[in-house]
Structure 1
């Protein structure tokens, strides 16, 4: 058993009992504890009210589908979500919908592969060092939320409020790709209308500052046609 995950609780929302049980068995071997729902009715309440660390969510569910559940969860939680779908052609459509899932797996799948994905997503969605509640660190980046400070390799970097909000959003979930639309919502809380080019411009300035005149590796990556990520 892997003790690193012994306190991690996984919610499996899957209407096929055999698939759900295989996932429970493999997760248990790695130290996870699991909870299973066979339809989508109580998924939101369970995620909101129970201490769940990760959600494995089937796309096609009785009563309430995974697409709807994922969108609704993202209204109140950034909990990692791995979607399961029986149709490989659905993957591109799901990614295009930007519903907020962290990854997708097609059925039939290897349960071992699913557990490996769960571990990978947990590693990348947890900041590598949590210095304090008001500080987040990832590789050579350190931001202090209350003091509005950013350091790169111990060198303080001056950021504008928009650049700071962009960096804060991405550093909280390393490896996760953020669409331009979601970044615009984070940066402009007063609902003003801005173009995606505006975000591109802010990202360009932010990247330049984080590179410290090219003395640091580039952690800010552009994903063509999708958005941006820190990794």
Structure 2
């Protein structure tokens, strides 16, 4: 940690604290192997964040294919899906982690939905980020913004079809694991369907209130 700039020490220290707590819990339960998978997917996320940072620094606009090879990983869906398995109990096995790290169709579809909906909703906000999917598509194919958004929206629709297909055919893993990935996809749909509600978090105020302060009681 001493090699990092001050602002990164805070983040990295907090992350190590989280993994330290996981280590204690998993060691007690005899499932310490799960921590290694959680760390592996975090490394994948950070390495690809670094790729995006280099693009941003050089003002490089990749092709849409090159962009998605990185941006689907920086969406965090693979990292969050795998990390969510850590505390799920005996329904999760080592094979479950191998499955999710293979980036199966439902996980990739989840990342496509989250990333493209995010980019479509938020690409006009000037935040000094790497070019969005919309900008990459425009730059590569020289189409109108309206056409780019329409075509990327069709990819989102196809990803939903892939997600539904995974629940129709015999599952490679137990249903609770598929449901974890589906719920992650639902969060992306909620956050980005109407606006970029992740960046403009005040737009989620009524959802938070309905969940925590005004819940529907049984």
How does the TM-score come out when normalised to structure 2?
A: 0.28
Taking CA–CA contacts closer than 8 Å with sequence separation of 6 or more, which of the two structures ends up with the larger relative contact order? 2
Q: Choose between structure 1 and 2: higher helix proportion.
A: 2
How does the TM-score come out when normalised to structure 1?
A: 0.27
